[in-house]
Amino acid sequence: MQKFEFGDFLLDAKEKVLLRGGKPLPVTPKALELLLVLVENHGHLVEKNELMKAVWADSFVEEGNLAFTIRLLRKALNDDAQKPRFIETVPKRGYRFIAEIKRLETKEEKDSRFRLIDNPLPSPSNDGSFSPAGNPHRHHEASNQSSGAVIALADWRSNPRAGNAEETAPFLELPADNSSKKIAVKADVARAPVRNRKIVVLGLVVSIATAIVFGAYFFNGKQTVPGNKKSIAILPFKPINTATRDEIYEIGIADSLIHRLSSMKGFVVRPLSAIRKYADIEQDPIAAGREQQVDYVLASNYQLVGGKIRVTAQLFNVVSGQIEETYKTEKDAADVFAMQDAVGSEVGNLLLTRFAVTSGNLPAKRGTIHEEAYRLYLQGMYLCDKRDLADARKAVQVLEQSVRLDPNYAPAWAGKAYAHRIIGNYGRSADTHEEYRESIEAINKALALDQNLPEAYSALCDNKMYYEYDFAGAETACKRALELDPNSSLAHQVYSRYLNSRGRADEALNEIKTAIELEPTSFHNQRNLGVSLYFARRYEESAAQFKRVIAMDKNYATPYRWLLFALEMQGNEPEAFEWFMKSPQMQGQDEETVRAFQTLFQTSGWKGVLSKRLKEFEKSDEVYFHGAAYHAQAGNKDKALEYLEKSYQRRELWMANLQVEPMLDPLRDDPRYHELVRRVESK
What are 445-461's pLDDT values in tens digits?
999 999 999 999 999 99
pLDDT of 104 > 90? The answer is no
* Fold match between domain 3-115+144-175 and domain 230-354: no
Which CATH architecture fits 3-115+144-175?
A: Orthogonal Bundle (1.10)
pLDDT at 175: 37
Confidence of residue 371 (pLDDT cuts 50, 70, 90): confident
Task: Report the pLDDT value the prediction gives residue 166, as an integer from 0 to 100.
Answer: 37
- Can you give 215-272 as a three-state secondary structure string? HHHHHHCCCCCCCCCEEEEECCCEECCHHHCCHHHHHHHHHHHHHHHCCCCCEEECCH
**Which distant-in-sequence residues (6+ apart) come within 8 Å of 440 by Cβ?**
417, 460, 463
Which stretch of DSSP H or E encloses residue 612?
helix 591-617
User: What's the pLDDT at 62?
Assistant: 57
- Alpha carbons 159 and 74: distance in angstroms, whole number: 11
Q: Which tens digits make up the pLDDT trace of 618-666?
A: 777 788 999 999 999 989 999 999 999 999 999 999 999 999 999 999 9
CB 504 within 8 A of CB 484: no
Alpha-carbon distance of 139 to 23, in angstroms, equals 12
- Compute the mean pLDDT over every residue in the chain, rounded to the nearest whole number: 79
What's the confidence (pLDDT) of residue 64? 65
- The 8 Å CB, 24+ separation contacts for 673-679 are 673/641, 673/644, 676/641, 676/644, 676/645, 676/648, 679/648
For the CA atoms of 315, 223, 364, 373, the dihedral, rounded to the nearest 10 degrees, stands at -20
C-alpha 317: how far from its chain's center? Answer: 15
Q: What percent of the chain has pLDDT over 70?
A: 79
Tell me the C-alpha to C-alpha distance, in Å, between residue 312 and each of 156, 303, 326.
Answer: 18, 9, 7
Instruction: Quote the Cα angle for 624-626-630, to 5°.
Output: 115
More confident of the two residues 24 and 196: 24
DSSP 190: E
3-state secondary structure of 486: coil
Which residue ranges make up each domain of the chain?
Answer: 3-115+144-175, 230-354
C-alpha separations of 120 from 128, 131, 262, 354 in Å: 18, 10, 44, 30
Position 379 pLDDT exceeds 90 = no
Mean pLDDT of 258-263: 79
Plot region of 148 (φ>0 → left; ψ -120 to 50 → alpha; else → beta): left
pLDDT digits (tens, 9 = 90+) for 139-167: 333 333 333 333 232 332 233 333 333 33
Instruction: Say whether pLDDT at 683 is over 80.
Output: no
In this structure, the number of other CB atoms found within 10 A of the CB of residue 678 comes to 9
Range from 79-83, 127-131, 251-255, 314-318 carrying the lowest mean pLDDT: 127-131
CA distances to 7, 25, 372, 562 from 553, rounded to whole Å, are 41, 34, 33, 14
Judge whether residue 211 has pLDDT over 50.
Answer: no
21: burial class by Cβ within 10 Å (0-12, 13-18, 19+)?
A: exposed
Q: What is the pLDDT of residues 530-561, one digit of tens each?
A: 999 999 999 999 999 999 999 988 888 889 99
φ and ψ at residue 99, rounded to 5 degrees: -75, 155
pLDDT band at 408 (very low <50, low <70, confident <90, very high): very high
Contact 396, 417 (CB under 8 A): no
Task: Give residue 157's pLDDT.
Answer: 28
Predicted confidence at residue 108, as pLDDT, reads 54
Q: pLDDT-based confidence at 414, cuts 50/70/90?
A: very high
Q: Which CATH number fits domain 230-354: 3.30.460.80, 3.40.50.10070, 3.40.50.1370, 3.40.309.10?
A: 3.40.50.10070
Q: Range with the lowest mean pLDDT among 92-106, 120-134, 404-418, 431-445? A: 120-134
**What secondary structure letter does DSSP report for 166?**
G
Res 138: pLDDT: 34
Mean pLDDT of 6-21: 86
The model's pLDDT over 475-527, given as tens digits with 9 standing for 90+, comes to 999 999 999 988 889 999 999 999 999 999 999 999 999 999 888 888 899 99
For residue 220, pLDDT over 50 is answered with: no
How far apart are the two ends of the chain, measured CA to CA in Å? Answer: 83
At residue 58 the predicted structure's pLDDT band, cuts being 50, 70 and 90, is low
